[in-house]
Amino acid sequence: MSLKSQDKEIYDLIQRERKRQAETINLIASENFASREVMEALGSILTNKYAENYPRKRYYGGCEVIDELEELAKERVRKTFGLPLDWHVNVQPYSGSPANLEVYNALLEPGDTIMSMDLASGGHLTHGSPVNFSGKNYKFVHYGVSEKTGRLDYMEILKLADKINPKLILCGYTAYSREVDFKKFREIADKVKAIAMADISHIAGLIAGAAHLSPFPFFDVVTTTVHKTLRGPRAAIIMCKDKYATAIDKSVFPGMQGGPHENAIAAIAVTMKEASTSSFRKYAEQVVKNAKILAQSLQDFGFKIISDGTDNHLMIVDLTNKNISGLEARKLLESAGIVSSQSPIPKDPRKPWDPSGVRLGTPAVTSRGMKEKEMSKIAAWIAAVITDPSIAAKVKQEVKRFTKNFKAPGL
Ligand SMILES: Cc1ncc(COP(=O)(O)O)c(C=O)c1O
């Protein structure tokens, strides 16, 4: 019995998606290729098991193996991120969005003030967007980036914090390309006696691979997804100082979630083992090298990059000088086999659905073994297609041939 013989419709859709992934260049900064091993854990018999609550306190029988598994996953998270001894780990959040809401729910009352980055400057929906649960239930006040440099302005963030006295300061971004000075955030939080929270979803793999400064031990709480630069399953982790452990655990279960996805937790454990190897360090280093070359090459073709470059895995291309919107550019590039996401630029005059930029990232192409030379080639294709849309179909064929030389893990 197999999916192929039992459910051809779904099997065929998976094969079509596999082909799409194999034959295109994926520059979506939040995506990656999970290994076969990660997927083996994710698709294992662990999906059969209910295990509400935490190890040794379950509401269901038959959890002795699951308890061991969840403890091992937590231990590996500790090791991979080098967590201080007085930190606690929760590996049950279903994904990044619930993880963030679970932290707010644990440490704040509805209506409390949170300071975070606005969406256009690089924040996430769960960082207080008015259309999100976060923005509807807490009072968010946003900081942005400096208009001049496109970077965080720590003096301005301090001034704003001083003025509004937030109960929690959130540092962590979906579309910010510069290294974050975590220590400065700690100092600002201390000055106004706020809880310091970091959402490292995007850069967690770089942190694990020592290609970005670590937020530990400067913060009180850290959340991360596992499926972006970390190359793991779609899942999330909350790490916090011991004094917040009980509140965080209660907020995850029973506060917001039911039974944990133990298959995802096993896949988190596999990811953590992979992310603590020397080859993962090399990977993280190459992700950053590739992003820098991609940004530089695009600049050489006259593209504007917010903050003039990148220190991490992503860049925001401001298309206002190219006479094309973010949505149009995304669609055009996709017709040439290059997949990206539209993105707002700071203080974007356009709407989020069709903003002024695209976000490009190198985690997925680096997982396929692409290096500096390939980044220059990709930049040349992007420039050529944006300049002359009529060549998109031809470039798509070239991209298809090109991708054959770079096997994606897990495909
Ligand atoms: C910084 C940040 N936090 C949280 C999330 C939410 O993660 P998920 O899509 O798994 O809910 C994202 C996803 O893009 C993100 O970029």
- Give the mean pLDDT of 30-59: 98
Nearest CA residue ID for atom 9, ligand 1: 96
Nearest CA residue ID for atom 16, ligand 1: 174
Asked if residue 262 and residue 291 are part of one domain, the reply reads no
**DSSP assigned state of 126:** G
Quote the pLDDT of residue 354: 94
Nearest CA residue ID for atom 4, ligand 1: 96
105 close to 256: Cβ distance less than 8 angstroms? yes
Q: Hey, which of 102, 119, 126, 132 would you mutate to test ligand 1's pocket, going by the most ligand atoms within 8 Å of its Cβ?
A: 126
350 counts as catalytic: no
52 counts as catalytic: yes
Written as one string, the DSSP assignment of 262-301 is HHHHHHHHHHHHHHTSHHHHHHHHHHHHHHHHHHHHHHHT
Query: No. of H helices and E strands in the chain?
Result: 16, 13
- pTM metric for this prediction: 0.98
Active-site residue, from 70, 102, 118, 199: 199
Report if residue 225 sits inside a domain. yes
Nearest CA residue ID for atom 6, ligand 1: 96
Report if residue 28 sits inside a domain. no
Asked if residue 303 and residue 240 are part of one domain, the reply reads no
Asked if residue 326 and residue 244 are part of one domain, the reply reads no
**Domain-ending residue, one of 244, 275, 306:** 275
Helix (H) or strand (E) holding 117: strand 113-117
Count: domains in the chain: 2
What residue has token string 């999100």? 132
**DSSP assigned state of 114:** E
Q: Is 341 in the pocket of ligand 1 (CB under 6 A)?
A: no
Q: Is 220 in the pocket of ligand 1 (CB under 6 A)?
A: no
Report if residue 34 sits inside a domain. no
What residue has token string 């209660």? 250
Q: How confident is the model at residue 217 (pLDDT cuts 50, 70, 90)?
A: confident
| CA 170 / ligand 1 centre spacing (Å) | 14
Asked if residue 241 and residue 128 are part of one domain, the reply reads yes
pLDDT tens digits, one per residue of 203-213: 999 999 999 99
| CA 30 / ligand 1 centre spacing (Å) | 8
**Domain-ending residue, one of 275, 309, 339:** 275
Asked if residue 309 and residue 219 are part of one domain, the reply reads no
Asked if residue 290 and residue 228 are part of one domain, the reply reads no
251 close to 14: Cβ distance less than 8 angstroms? no
CATH of residue 292's domain is: 3.90.1150.10
pLDDT tens digits, one per residue of 352-409: 899 999 999 999 999 999 999 999 999 999 999 999 999 999 999 999 999 999 999 9
| CA 175 / ligand 1 centre spacing (Å) | 11
Q: If we measure between CA atoms, which residue out of 58, 86, 87, 82 comes closest to residue 70?
A: 58
Asked if residue 152 and residue 264 are part of one domain, the reply reads yes
Asked if residue 158 and residue 84 are part of one domain, the reply reads yes
**DSSP assigned state of 385:** H
Q: Is 199 in the pocket of ligand 1 (CB under 6 A)?
A: yes
Report if residue 11 sits inside a domain. no
The whole-angstrom separation of Cα 265 and Cα 69 is: 8
Q: Is 362 in the pocket of ligand 1 (CB under 6 A)?
A: no
The whole-angstrom separation of Cα 104 and Cα 146 is: 27
Report if residue 10 sits inside a domain. no
151 counts as catalytic: no
Which percentage of the chain shows pLDDT scores above 90?
Answer: 99
- Give the mean pLDDT of 226-248: 98
**Domain-ending residue, one of 243, 275, 307:** 275
Asked if residue 186 and residue 306 are part of one domain, the reply reads no
* pLDDT averaged over every residue in the chain: 98
Report if residue 296 sits inside a domain. yes
Q: If we measure between CA atoms, which residue out of 213, 205, 255, 265 comes closest to residue 235?
A: 265
How far are the Cα atoms of 54, 208, 275, 282, 369 from residue 38, in angstroms, in the given order?
23, 17, 12, 19, 19
Which percentage of the chain shows pLDDT scores above 70?
Answer: 100
Asked if residue 290 and residue 202 are part of one domain, the reply reads no
Report if residue 254 sits inside a domain. yes
CATH of residue 252's domain is: 3.40.640.10
- Give the mean pLDDT of 120-135: 96
Report if residue 130 sits inside a domain. yes
Asked if residue 255 and residue 141 are part of one domain, the reply reads yes
- Give the mean pLDDT of 306-324: 97
Residues spanned by the domain of 234: 40-275
Asked if residue 259 and residue 397 are part of one domain, the reply reads no
Nearest CA residue ID for atom 8, ligand 1: 96
Query: Is the per-residue pLDDT at 172 higher than 90?
Result: yes
Helix (H) or strand (E) holding 237: strand 236-241
3-state secondary structure of 369: coil
Quote the pLDDT of residue 43: 98
50 close to 61: Cβ distance less than 8 angstroms? no
